[in-house]
Amino acid sequence: AQTVTQSQPEMSVQEAETVTLSCTYDTSESDYYLFWYKQPPSRQMILVIRQEAYKQQNATENRFSVNFQKAAKSFSLKISDSQLGDAAMYFCAYRSAYGGATNKLIFGTGTLLAVQP
Amino acid sequence: DTGVSQDPRHKITKRGQNVTFRCDPISEHNRLYWYRQTLGQGPEFLTYFQNEAQLEKSRLLSDRFSAERPKGSFSTLEIQRTEQGDSAMYLCASSPGLMNTEAFFGQGTRLTVV
């Protein structure tokens, strides 16, 4: 069974600074997707960034980028130029890419990010 | 399209009562998921529908839980004889069914069993 581990329950960053959130996962599959989701206090989960395991290039979405290390099963999220609106719970998630699977998401326990003005 | 809609947003019920939650997915999304999120934890998968067919149920879904998706549109999640341990946020998500497409989440229903 696949597992996702986020070892940082809480992180804090100064506005305009850079912060990196860590995520490791375990799987025996070779093809899968990894995601970072943001859950603001309103509780609606929003996709931040997605990485396909077969792609070597790290995904980037504006101020958000990932460091995907497939051999190490590591998938960290870097937030550059942090803004007050980035404050939220961040979840790392895994999804199988195999056809016929439910494509359910397997989540880590989350990292609560605080942004200090 | 207004996104995934869940109703009610909050529900307080007495232990032993039955509750039912509703999820309206994004139109034409044929995949629908229910997750449960307890305080301090990430969401955990409960069940999955493809159109009207319930194709997978987690072991977390005890006999007191039942979910339906009639006609492949909205879905309901019912909990019978609620227990205090059922207190959680219940999240619904939908996706179009393409392999590389994200799941879109609703705002959730927060259940408190007193």
Residue A51: CB atoms within 10 Å: 20
Give B31's pLDDT tier (boundaries 50, 70, 90): very high
pLDDT digits (tens, 9 = 90+) for A23-79: 999 999 988 999 999 999 876 899 999 999 998 899 999 999 999 999 999 999 999
Residue B81's region, left for phi above 0, alpha for psi from -120 to 50, else beta, is left
Residues of B near A (Cβ–Cβ under 8 Å) read 31, 33, 35, 40-45, 48, 55-56, 89, 91, 93, 95, 99-100, 102-103, 105-108, 110
Residues 6+ apart with CB under 8 A from A86: A13, A38, A79, A113, A115
Q: Which of A12-26, A71-85, B26-40 has the lowest mean pLDDT?
A: B26-40
Chain A CB contacts of B42 under 8 Å are: 4, 6, 91, 93, 107-110
Which phi and psi (to 5°) does residue B28 adopt? 75, 5
Interval A85-112: pLDDT, tens: 999 999 999 998 876 667 899 999 999 9
Of A3, A36, A34, nearest to A19 by C-alpha is A36
A27 alpha carbon, distance to own chain's centre: 16
pLDDT band at B1 (very low <50, low <70, confident <90, very high): low
How far CA B35 is from CA of A105, B51, B91, in Å, comes to: 9, 17, 5
Task: Give the whole-angstrom CA distance, residue B104 versus residue A110.
Answer: 18
Structure confidence at residue B97 as a pLDDT band (50, 70, 90): confident
pLDDT in tens, B35-93: 999 988 999 999 999 999 999 999 888 899 999 999 889 999 999 999 999 999 999 99
Q: What is the pLDDT of residue A4?
A: 97
